[in-house]
Structure 1
Amino acid sequence: MSNKYVVIDLETTGNSVKKGDRIIQFAAVVIENNTIVDQFSSLLNPGQPIPVFIEELTGLTDEMVKDAPEFAEIAPKVVEMLEGAFFVAHNVLFDLSFLQEELIMAGFEGFYGPVLDTVEMARILFPSSDSYKLSDLAIQEGLSHDRPHQADSDAYVTGELLLILFELLRCLPLKTIKQLYHLSGGLKSDLIDILEELIMEKEKRIDDLPYFLEEYRGICIKKSPVDNELKERDEKFYPLHESEKENLLKRAFPDFEIRKGQLKMMDIVHHSFQHELHAMIEAGTGVGKSLAYLLPALYTALNSQEPVIISTFTTQLQEQLLQKDIPLLAKAVAFPFHTVLIKGKSHYINIEKFVKILREDDDNYDTTLTKMQILVWLTQTNTGDRDELNLSSGGRLFWHRVKHDDSLRSSRENRDFYLNMRRKAQKADLIITNHSLLLSDLVADKPQLPESNCIIIDEGHHFEKVAGKYFGSKIDFASTRYLLHQMGLSEQKMLAYKIEKLLQAYSVNQDGLPHLFELNGIMSELLYAMDELFTILAMIAKKSVKNKVQGKISCPLYFDMTKETKAFRAKAEQFLFLLTDFARGVSARIERLKKVNQKDILKNSVVHEAATWLNDCEKLKQCIRKIIHQNLSEDISWIEMDTRSWQNRTTLYSQPISVSNQLKELLFKQKKSVIVTSATLAVKGSFKYAANALGLQTEPCHYEQLQSPFDFEKQVQLVIANDLPEVNSVSLQDYVAAIGSHIISIAEATKGRLLILFTSYEMLRKTYELIKESGFLQEYTMLAQGITGGSRTRLVKNFQRFDKAILLGTSSFWEGIDIPGEDLSCLIMVRLPFTPPDDPLTEAKCDNVKRLGGNPFYDYSLPEAVLRFKQGFGRLIRTKNDRGIMIIFDHRIISTQYGKTFLDSLPGVKAKEMDIDQTINLIHDWL
């Protein structure tokens, strides 16, 4: 790119120049002819104290800027540098607004030239990146960024990033660049100028498509990988002898070590498949369960000529199986086989829909950016799976318009990502999928997965909860409003208006059809009824809470004949009636359109968007009917609401109290062999709780608990704090104060590398705030779920990146995060992980246990908490060389009779009671 670019980064005293915040460091990097040709940076005296949190973030202090120039002194140099240049920054509007004000205050005109935003460019050109923070992009691209949040380092890295982004643009085909150019007028920056220059450059020469791309429907997309047809294969004999299995594994692992548990699990899985038995296997950390089930699954699939389905809960495990375990399996067996990952159809893009919607002019920023992201992503993706894309919330809404739903088929099957995936699945030996798709296939008229009688359910401790959600219903305000507004009648871009235009374009006879004016009236009533429906739900939720709680609350919705529930049912019936009436009017118009004798009408994007909308409407109606006509003894309904934004965040859920009968009838009685496996299924050596929850208690089933090969006695120290108050004997504030001082002492002793697991977000937040305010851990990086920002994956990556890091997590952090080695040396469990007894679903399950003659605490609450406790413990030791300390703050683990159940469920670890001084001494000796 032949222009001059000045990349600028500023450190400031705060976020708002309008409120008097000032610049404390200015840095600029000049790029000409794709080379960094100049750099300039200066500390600046802001004429005001630097706030403590800015000091922490940047490392810049009042002392450091005391003798620095004021901005007015460097302003002439800044103006000179920017003359005739593009102003570039990472989040350009922030830096530009500050600089404009400072330049004007210094007596100069502001900058009014073209701007580029490297965040915006990165979103378009790295559509699959986990994060668009500068430090994360630097790691991704291998750029050295040793001083984040210091302007000179940030500016230089942003300059290097800009050059990489330019190179990515140059590598795109001309067709794609022209499509990006057409959309780029709707961006916040002036990327349109760069794209225009690039088009002129490329048009001067023949721009052939790279060999791995092809053009389809005017869009450049990656060619479909060619399937290697597998020739007729001889029968493969499962290696029965231990030495044979060991020899196979030695091929895959250069430093193979025998793991008896792994070999035993292979034989159990193989025996279960051969003899048509179910099995439940708990495989402790380090057993190597993935290969232990993949190997016998592959031999079973090859010899039965029928695929084996492997279902997981998390996408992380799916990726691990595909990227790591399947290649190891291929090395081990040394013969070819096919593996396919398949998800529900809404995960895949429908190219036909995207092509049609791409042509629509749209001035919505999120939609424009998402279209540009997808155009670039289509030159990269093999799967067309939305999980590869990092979409904004607006982008996720756009996805609903282009997702696969069978309404518009591709003229070439190999260019339909979903059908392509299904075609591959028909030839696959191993199929990897998720629990939700497996469950939906059990009841579907047209299953998406190939027929299979052998199924492996990994992460099996999640299967019952996923089944509860799958067999249940959910309606929320935001989704319902979005659905109705899609059809809304006031704006020209809305679907009803487009249908009307189409009727006129094809001169369709509208006699007998409801007039657009009538539909408009019904929609107005519908929107009003929706508001009232969720207002009633919010009122019921607020009334159920005795104290004025701020934040998330939940309460059961009983269909007793109280005034509120009568009002809810009446309003829900009215909403259903209006929605049915409106949908009938839309459907009649579409049917009239389809009768037009024009082939192109059936491929019109408006017709297909309407079909999708009607389908989504039908699902919403089914959900509402299911909830208001539910069988009270078998289902529980509850409301979840956030008091800070009750209307946008009110959701009504309904679920069966137990799914064991459905799973028994639909899965375990229908399939010849189902293997359920996880690292946590047994409580004190018994599988009774998991078997009852899944409906396996009366089925022939092999139960096996395989111990971890790790030497926990030598690798783990387990400490129970004996100098903290009982959690329920003091106020939350006093308890947080007590644990806060312990955490500070422990963090200093371990030098960070500390994961703290909470059961309550409120306690996590209060603890984080107290530690931050204390100032004792200023040189430590404090990361907290829901506070410091970022996904779970991002928080874990940041935790591993910093030497002195402390990570506070709740809910999802109790499992599924993998932090091996010295990155994690100490785990604190603040409370035993019981679900709050007033949680509506927990309450209903406990009532159900009582009704069946059981003990709610010992038959439900305790085993559920023990399994979660084992998951939490599993975060600490991930390899045979790990060493760590686990500290439990909850004294109930030794002061109550049931506490022994938690300790007895841990593999060979002896607990020690200690006060904080003894704990600190142990940490110093042990680590």
Structure 2
Amino acid sequence: MQEPTISELFSLDGPLAVMSPGFRVRPSQIELAQAVERTIAERSTLVAEAGTGTGKTWAYLVPALLGGGKVLVSTGTRTLQDQLFARDLPRVREALSLPASIALLKGRGNYVCHYHLERIQGEDRSLHSRAEVQQLRHIQTFTQQSNTGDRADLPSVPEDAEIWQRVTSTRENCLGQDCPNVRDCFVLKARRQAQEADVVVINHALFMADLMLRDEGITDLLPAADTVIFDEAHQLPDTATRFLGTSISTHQLLDLSKLVETAGLAHARELTNWSEQARRIEHAAKELRLSCAALEKMPARRVTFEAFPSPENFDAARDVLQLALDEIARMLSSVEEKHPDLAAAARSCHELAERLSQWGKPGRTSHAALEDEQEVVRWVELGLHHVRLHAAPLSVAEAFSRYRQGGQAWIFTSATLSVHGDFSHFTSRLGLEKAETLRMESPFDYANQALLFVPRSLPPPQSADFLPAFVDTLMPLIQASQGGALVLCTTLRAVERVAGLLADAYDRLGLTWPIMRQGNGTRRDLLERFRTLDHAVLVGSASFWEGIDVAGDRLTLVAIDKLPFAPPDDPVLEARLKACRSRGGNPFMEYQLPEAAIALKQGAGRLIRTETDWGVLMVGDTRLVDKPYGKQLWRGLPPFARTRDVEEAVAFYQRHSAPIDAT
């Protein structure tokens, strides 16, 4: 009997329709699924932009389950990772009546570590509050009952609770096969299941961590695969940059000092005064932070290594820290066989010493030009209580494309990969110039469902009057709309200012609708409240521009304050622009504009998520219309109806909704 074709599987008579009430035949979904099927068969590379509503998840899962062999599906967020594993994959597998086994694999920081949990139970002094005592009890009970140890399965302890850092392991402090709890280890259990499964759901961070470990000769993190699918692929270049770089922070150094003291006193007391050695690391870390005092007055409190102002004190503090780490690492190495804790401390100390040493090369006298694409940019960032030294490659294209294993099919998909149909910005960043590209338009009727409103007379975005004028223009839309509003800002400072200006406007008008802003609760909590409260406004920055899926009348207004150009003081961006100029290129057109276009499309994509959604997208930055380059930006957006008059935007709401009580 002949196997059904992709078209038959996605037809109204096919198995997917039987499983899914309200299933519709989408030509773009079938075309994408066929392209994925062809890519898998040819073991080639596909870069596919699938507009919202295409149904891209099923479009890649169906051919992957049918003919992908061993499959890795990598996502940008843990939310989508959990959704794929718990909902989408089981449904498609059941619809196709396939026996495929599936597994979920996350980074080790997501799994409770039995060893570190036992250690914290024996150190009552390390618990900082009653809340932490209660959280620890929840984790203890959870660990006894859970099969996975995945902290996402324990909602009673917040994702961002500090205690998670102390009951999970890192690569440096994991005891590996020397751990007394190795048989019960949740990380090893998850990895074994991944090795045996037909389809493994991972995330981009884990994929990049695996790439780094393979460079060091370690190959047991991810299983070998025939097909690798990257969903939310637009995030990959930044994830790759982060993972192919390194960082060392005073937080890590203070954690190391505690580890050195605890392990040394417990298992090698006779060798040295371990409390003194721990204080030596602490003091060197403190001096390093003090040597960065000049950064307090600098934009974003960061500076590149080469531009560090009066660097003598900083360089001297770095040398003292390097000497301390090198000497303590040698001491630990001499006794590491005595106990796994000493071995873990030695490993951590060597790792940080090596990172610090590499970060300082070449020195300040080696004025290396940024001509080579493989150049690394180094910078120092000052936080409220810490300092962090970063290094990142200017280009990840060679390293990323080199990682591909022979005979693999690679599929990259997202709603935002091209700039007005051109994929070159994305493909060049990852070294994918030979990939097939495919663009699937959204099936939504954007011209009738949504309106793009760019006010005619707002001040320039750099003006001090801009945000007050932006909020004044936004208020009639909030009042006219029946649903919630998502206000997306380009900086955290703007989030705070816009939320404050909205609160003032509500007070003047006697409005009592809820206003929420990023920082007042976790992202998950804010989104849950936003979905349940009537006529809410949520003001957020970077992490709220994507991954938010609120359908129906709960979200009928998305407002973006300014065009999302990356801040020019970002050290990696600054170095990339400099390298582009040195090659005779145009950094604005080649880099800044494409990046802004993709980010703007992500933000705009929050508005229309289903065939019945509707609403207004307001962009307060008039450069979108007034500047010659603005056309490239708005042409990359969905084909909304457009206006510059606030009265027309209000009238759009009046056509779609009944009048409501303003309070």
Q: TM-score, normalised by structure 2?
A: 0.90
CA distance, structure 1, for counterparts of residue 578 and residue 596 of structure 2: 17
- Asked if residue 475 in structure 1 is aligned to residue 262 in structure 2, the reply is no
- Asked if residue 293 in structure 1 is aligned to residue 60 in structure 2, the reply is yes
Deviations 1:374-432 (A, max 9, x none): 22112442211234442564413422569982435577976332222222222211011
Match of 2:137 among 344, 356, 372: 372
Deviations 1:257-297 (A, max 9, x none): 00111111111111111112101000111111111111111
CA distance, structure 1, for counterparts of residue 63 and residue 93 of structure 2: 13
Match of 2:566 among 835, 839, 842: 835
1:416 and 1:558, CA in 2 relative to 1: closer, same or farther beyond 3 A? closer
1:538 and 1:477, CA in 2 relative to 1: closer, same or farther beyond 3 A? farther
Match of 1:319 among 82, 86, 95: 82
Which residue in 2 is equivalent to 1:556? 303
CA distance, structure 2, for counterparts of residue 625 and residue 370 of structure 1: 39
1:632-671 counterparts in 2 under 5 A?
633=370, 634-642=375-383, 645=384, 648-667=385-404, 670=406
CA distance, structure 2, for counterparts of residue 452 and residue 368 of structure 1: 43
1:718 and 1:402, CA in 2 relative to 1: closer, same or farther beyond 3 A? closer
CA distance, structure 1, for counterparts of residue 191 and residue 390 of structure 2: 32
1:46-57 counterparts in 2 under 5 A?
none
SS at match of 1:496: helix
Which residue in 2 is equivalent to 1:535? 290
Following superposition, the deviation at residue 749 of structure 1 comes to: 1.3
Deviations 1:496-531 (A, max 9, x none): 32224xx6xxxxxx5xx4x32xx4444433322211
CA distance, structure 2, for counterparts of residue 437 and residue 763 of structure 1: 32
SS at match of 1:629: coil
Identity value in percent: 28
Following superposition, the deviation at residue 587 of structure 1 comes to: 3.0
**Mean Cα displacement is larger for which, 756-765 or 285-294?**
756-765
SS at match of 2:310: helix
Deviations 1:694-751 (A, max 9, x none): 1112xx31100011111111211111111322223x32xx222212222222211114
Which residue in 1 is equivalent to 2:501? 770
Match of 1:436 among 199, 205, 209: 205
2:44/2:408 contact within 8 Å kept: yes
Match of 2:424 among 667, 682, 688: 688
Aligned amino acid, residue 247 of structure 2: K
1:238/1:299 contact within 8 Å kept: no
1:718/1:909 contact within 8 Å kept: yes
CA distance, structure 1, for counterparts of residue 61 and residue 552 of structure 2: 26
1:834-873 counterparts in 2 under 5 A?
834-873=565-604
CA distance, structure 1, for counterparts of residue 126 and residue 391 of structure 2: 38
CA distance, structure 2, for counterparts of residue 471 and residue 762 of structure 1: 29
Aligned amino acid, residue 397 of structure 2: S
1:837 and 1:240, CA in 2 relative to 1: closer, same or farther beyond 3 A? same
Following superposition, the deviation at residue 342 of structure 1 comes to: 1.0
Which residue in 2 is equivalent to 1:703? 437
CA distance, structure 2, for counterparts of residue 417 and residue 663 of structure 1: 29
1:300/1:308 contact within 8 Å kept: no
Which residue in 1 is equivalent to 2:163? 395
Match of 2:516 among 756, 780, 783: 783
1:401/1:609 contact within 8 Å kept: no
CA distance, structure 1, for counterparts of residue 123 and residue 317 of structure 2: 37
Which residue in 1 is equivalent to 2:266? 498
SS at match of 1:378: helix
- Asked if residue 723 in structure 1 is aligned to residue 492 in structure 2, the reply is no
**Mean Cα displacement is larger for which, 394-403 or 383-392?**
394-403
Following superposition, the deviation at residue 768 of structure 1 comes to: 1.7
CA distance, structure 2, for counterparts of residue 470 and residue 339 of structure 1: 26
CA distance, structure 2, for counterparts of residue 637 and residue 402 of structure 1: 24
- Asked if residue 618 in structure 1 is aligned to residue 618 in structure 2, the reply is no
- Asked if residue 460 in structure 1 is aligned to residue 233 in structure 2, the reply is yes
1:352 and 1:784, CA in 2 relative to 1: closer, same or farther beyond 3 A? closer
1:536/1:564 contact within 8 Å kept: no
CA distance, structure 1, for counterparts of residue 328 and residue 144 of structure 2: 40
1:683 and 1:401, CA in 2 relative to 1: closer, same or farther beyond 3 A? closer
1:566 and 1:359, CA in 2 relative to 1: closer, same or farther beyond 3 A? closer
SS at match of 2:617: strand
CA distance, structure 1, for counterparts of residue 403 and residue 304 of structure 2: 29
1:722 and 1:825, CA in 2 relative to 1: closer, same or farther beyond 3 A? same
1:212-361 counterparts in 2 under 5 A?
239-240=4-5, 242-246=7-11, 247-301=14-68, 304=69, 307-352=70-115, 354-355=117-118, 358=121
Following superposition, the deviation at residue 677 of structure 1 comes to: 0.8
1:736 and 1:907, CA in 2 relative to 1: closer, same or farther beyond 3 A? closer
1:872 and 1:921, CA in 2 relative to 1: closer, same or farther beyond 3 A? same
Deviations 1:634-664 (A, max 9, x none): 111223334xx3xx14322211111111112
CA distance, structure 2, for counterparts of residue 902 and residue 529 of structure 1: 49
1:637/1:652 contact within 8 Å kept: yes
2:380/2:389 contact within 8 Å kept: yes
Following superposition, the deviation at residue 361 of structure 1 comes to: 5.7
Following superposition, the deviation at residue 543 of structure 1 comes to: 5.0
**Structure of higher CA gyration radius:** 1
CA distance, structure 1, for counterparts of residue 534 and residue 29 of structure 2: 35
CA distance, structure 1, for counterparts of residue 192 and residue 168 of structure 2: 24
Aligned amino acid, residue 415 of structure 1: D
CA distance, structure 1, for counterparts of residue 398 and residue 623 of structure 2: 35
1:720/1:891 contact within 8 Å kept: yes
Which residue in 2 is equivalent to 1:227? none
Deviations 1:233-259 (A, max 9, x none): xxx986435124421321321221001
CA distance, structure 1, for counterparts of residue 525 and residue 151 of structure 2: 19
1:154-233 counterparts in 2 under 5 A?
none
1:554/1:839 contact within 8 Å kept: no
1:554/1:840 contact within 8 Å kept: no
2:480/2:654 contact within 8 Å kept: yes
2:287/2:317 contact within 8 Å kept: yes
1:238/1:296 contact within 8 Å kept: no
Aligned amino acid, residue 830 of structure 1: D
Unaligned runs of 5+ in 2: 363-367, 658-663
**Mean Cα displacement is larger for which, 442-451 or 814-823?**
442-451
Which residue in 2 is equivalent to 1:420? 189
1:559/1:565 contact within 8 Å kept: no
Deviations 1:547-569 (A, max 9, x none): xxxxxx14332336x77334433
Aligned amino acid, residue 376 of structure 1: T
SS at match of 1:717: strand
2:49/2:438 contact within 8 Å kept: yes
1:281/1:703 contact within 8 Å kept: yes
SS at match of 2:567: coil
Size of the aligned set, in residue pairs, is 634
Which residue in 1 is equivalent to 2:473? 742
1:638/1:840 contact within 8 Å kept: yes
2:50/2:439 contact within 8 Å kept: yes
CA distance, structure 2, for counterparts of residue 735 and residue 742 of structure 1: 11
Which residue in 1 is equivalent to 2:536? 805
Following superposition, the deviation at residue 477 of structure 1 comes to: 2.3
What value does the CA root-mean-square deviation take over the aligned residues?
2.5
1:11-30 counterparts in 2 under 5 A?
none
1:554 and 1:661, CA in 2 relative to 1: closer, same or farther beyond 3 A? farther
Following superposition, the deviation at residue 358 of structure 1 comes to: 3.7
CA distance, structure 1, for counterparts of residue 293 and residue 168 of structure 2: 27
Unaligned runs of 5+ in 1: 1-235, 489-493, 504-509, 546-552, 594-606
